Structures are given as C-alpha cells and as structure tokens.
Structure 1
Amino acid sequence: MSIVKFPIKGEAVARKRLSPEASRLAALEAARDILVEAGPQAVTLKAVAARIGRTHANLLHHFGSASGLQRELAAYHAESICIDIGEQIHRFRGGDIGPRDLVDMIFDHFDKAGAGALAAWMLLSGNEDALNPVVEAIHRLVDEVGEGGHEDGNLHKLTMELVLLALGDSLLGGPLSMSLGLDRGAGRDIAAERLAQSFAAWQALQNQ
C-alpha cells in the first residue's frame, strides 16, 4: 500500500519558481518576520533561506552578504514604516486620532516591530552605512507631510525628537523607567505631550 505524502503548508509556495524581484521581496518579508520573532542577530542568510525554501547561494545572489541583507531589510522596513506613519499623520491632522495614538504607532514600530533593535545591531556590528536608507526615508517623509516641504524646520526638529525618543525607548525604556520609578509608558507620555504642543503651535500658525 503506497503512502500519499501531502505537502507541508506553504511548501508549494516556497518552492514555486519566482521572479528575481518576487524572490527578493519574499526574502525581505521573511527577514522582517524573523527580526520580530527572534531579534536582529537571528536575521542571517541561512535562516531567511530556510524560511522561504531557498538556498544560501540564492540569497547570496540577491544580497551579496549578511550585511547586504541587513542593509536592504533596513531600507525595506523603513519605507513601510514611513508609509504607515505618513498615513497616520494625515489622520492625526484631520482629527481622526490623537497625539498618543500617533506616538504609540511610531514607538511600536521601533519596539515591537524591531526597528530600534535592528538599528542598534547594525551600528554595533559596524554596518553604519546600512542606516542611510532609513535616514533618507524619514527625510522624504518629513518633506512630504510638511507644509513647507524641505524648509519646514520645525517639523524636522520634531521628527528628530520623536525618532530619537522612540529609538531610545525601544532600547532602554523598560529598565530606565523602572530605575527611575516611572511608568513604562513615560517615554510615550513625554513624546505625546511634545507632539500635542507642536501641533497646537502649528494650528495657531495656520489660523493666522
């Protein structure tokens, strides 16, 4: 009696022939999942290849090295984060969400989605150039949502403040708030208060 072997869920998809761009995108999505699940140190060519049913050589062809994979993951992650933030900023300005809602979304990207840990890992591993696409994506976002485009210096300063707060909170927010006897959400409270003040000033200018 022959035994019928059914494919493991996802196996057929993983082994299906993909275009180079589709294969690259699948690898980046898998890398992002691994980042969230196990941290940046787990994002290796071998791990990503195993996740999508490809070979190590195939990933080398697309990214060249582990640092190349990290670089493209950072750019891919930053682009998707900035798109999300841009949409939420428009909702915030329209009154659909409040300052804390926007801050929570930004902080969650750096904390739960792993952007902060990835940035720190790349810096510590000497892969500083990989952060350039992240900085560029944030810069484009600021120019797109700013009323004065590139000349909107106040928005640039606020963005830098929020990003640094979110990055710092994702790395040290837990132990630092505990050490100082503050609530774990203290960093988010500070950022939300700062955002509310900045938005009130922006509204005042618009009404002049």
Structure 2
Amino acid sequence: MTGRKRLSPEESRKSALEAARALLIETGPQSVTLKAVASRIGRTHANLLHHFGSASGLQKALAEHLAKTVCETIIEAVRASRAGLGSAREVVDLAFDAFDREGAGALTSWMLLTGNEDALNPIISTIHELVDEIAPEEAQHHADDPLHVHKDTLSLVLLALGDALIGAALAKSLGLPRDAARDRASANLEASMAVHYGEKATR
C-alpha cells in the first residue's frame, strides 16, 4: 500500500494486538484471526505470521497483552485501597470489567473450547506475578494467614470470570440485579480487608 507508514517491529506488533483486542470486544474471540487482524491494520498475512507464528501465537500474545493491561490497572487500585484512597468496590469493578468489557472472559472461554489452554498461561502467570508483588509484605504482618492475598485473588478472579460468562443470564433467572455478583465480591473483599487492614481500609 503506497504511502503506508513504516512501523518498527515493536509498533507493528502493538498495533496488531490493539486490533486483535478490538475485534475480540466487537465480534468475539472467533474473529481474532491473522487474516482479520491483518486486514484491519492494513498489513499482510505474512507480516503477522512473522510476528506471531500462527493464529494460536496471536491469541497467546493477546492473552498476555490483556493480562498485563488488566493487572497493571488492578495493582494501582489495590495500592490506592491500601493507602485509604480507593475502595474494595473499585478493585472489584476493575477486575469484573477486565473479564467482561475488555474481553478476557470471552478469550478464556474460547481458548478452553478450542483446546488452546496454553494461551491462558500468560493470564495465569501475570495474575500470579501481581499477587507475588502485593503479597509478601502482607504475609509478614499477617502470619496467621500468609496466603490471604492469594485467596482473595482466587475468589475475585473466579467470580469475575463466571460473571463474564453467565452472570447476566444467571442473575436474571434468579431474580437478582445484574450487579449481584459484583456486590458479593465487594462484600467478600471488604470483609477480608477489615480483618487484615482494619476497618479504615474498607472505607
């Protein structure tokens, strides 16, 4: 294509991942193909093959891209909560939005259905890194339950993922508000924060 801007390999890869993320949110994980992404950013199929190797490689890179973005946002909210500048509900909303509106839940479901579980490794490992970063200091101060951050993270991620997949339909069938799972996750996190950080932290 004449006049097309020449991108560095890093810029080209980033542009492809942003396009893949947009496709994921707009039309679902099945549309995240090398051909569709190449078409959206005006590159060739061969160009994307060079960067990702295969459709599976693209999906794995997208999972890593989503996980990093999500976890960076969540860790800032966790730090704000600790400092008394944010609430448990803000942390919960960020996690739930990541799996629902940002497409991480749909991507997870699709990877499991297509047998590409390896693509989920970046999400799992990034969440693990997030916990490893925020947990050690807490473990020193709460020897009675050194794994409480791990437990809170497990509970929050499972609730957020489940809500992204069937939350709307399940809440409706049970006659509950759409945000019922978020309310439950917030209550759980606030209770844990009250135990481990004191009532002030729950705001």
**TM-score, length-normalised on structure 1?**
0.88
Task: Tell me the CA shift for residue 204 of structure 1.
Answer: 4.0
Aligned partner (choices 185, 196, 202) of residue 202 of structure 1: 196
Question: Residues 79-111 of structure 1, C-alpha deviation per residue, up to 9 Å, x if partnerless?
Answer: 111001001111111222222222111101110
Given the alignment of the two structures, is residue 38 of structure 1 paired with residue 32 of structure 2, yes or no?
Answer: no
Query: Cα–Cα, structure 1 residues 33 and 149, in superposed 2: closer, same or farther, change >3 Å?
Result: farther
Structure 2 distance, partners of 1:45, 1:149, is 44
Given the alignment of the two structures, is residue 23 of structure 1 paired with residue 12 of structure 2, yes or no?
Answer: yes
Task: Tell me the CA shift for residue 51 of structure 1.
Answer: 1.1
Structure 2 distance, partners of 1:54, 1:204, is 54
Task: Tell me the CA shift for residue 149 of structure 1.
Answer: 6.4
Which is worse superposed, 192-201 or 96-105?
96-105
Aligned partner (choices 131, 155, 166) of residue 120 of structure 2: 131
Aligned partner (choices 168, 175, 181) of residue 181 of structure 1: 175
Task: Tell me the CA shift for residue 143 of structure 1.
Answer: 1.1
Matched residue type, 2:159: L
Aligned partner (choices 70, 89, 98) of residue 109 of structure 1: 98
Which is worse superposed, 122-131 or 148-157?
148-157
Matched residue type, 2:158: L
Structure 2 distance, partners of 1:92, 1:44, is 39
Matched residue type, 2:154: M
Structure 2 distance, partners of 1:124, 1:36, is 18
Q: Which residue of structure 2 aligns with residue 81 of structure 1? A: 70
Q: Which residue of structure 1 aligns with residue 151 of structure 2? A: 157
Question: Residues 36-68 of structure 1, C-alpha deviation per residue, up to 9 Å, x if partnerless?
Answer: 111111111111101111001111111111111
Query: Cα–Cα, structure 1 residues 149 and 50, in superposed 2: closer, same or farther, change >3 Å?
Result: farther
SS state at 1:72 partner: helix
Which is worse superposed, 69-78 or 15-24?
15-24
Given that 1:143 and 1:149 are in contact with CA atoms closer than 8 Å, whether structure 2 keeps it comes out as no
Structure 1 distance, partners of 2:189, 2:138, is 18
Matched residue type, 1:93: R
Q: What is the total number of aligned residue pairs between the two structures?
A: 195
| Structure 2 residues not aligned, in runs of 5+ | none
Task: Tell me the CA shift for residue 148 of structure 1.
Answer: 4.0
Which is worse superposed, 42-51 or 90-99?
90-99
Indicate the structure (1 or 2) with the bigger Cα radius of gyration.
Answer: 1
| Structure 1 residues not aligned, in runs of 5+ | 1-10
Question: Residues 147-200 of structure 1, C-alpha deviation per residue, up to 9 Å, x if partnerless?
Answer: 246994111011000000000000000010111111111000100000000100
CA-atom RMSD, angstroms? Answer: 2.1
Matched residue type, 1:191: A
